Amino acid sequence: MDISNQRILVIGGSGLVGKAICRSLLSHPEQQPAAITITGRSSSRIEKTLDELKALSATTEFSGITGDIFLPKCF
């Protein structure tokens, strides 16, 4: 699967499995995605993970979204 220049969303990207998926996506220098967005429940874990991922690719744009899709806010 060629992920060159694709935008990728990894739900739970700051957890162990999510980080492993992101590292795997970045492991082929000839097929770097244009952007990876990770989601998670802890903003500090997301920031730490983004810092780790940024060290693996100079060309991929990284961003994070904090929230919990399983516990929606009720009004």
Q: What's the whole-model pTM score?
A: 0.86
Using alpha carbons only, what angle is made at residue 17 by residues 56 and 59, rounded to the nearest 5 degrees? Answer: 20
pLDDT of the residue at 10:
96
Residue numbers of the chain with a pLDDT score lower than 70: 72-75
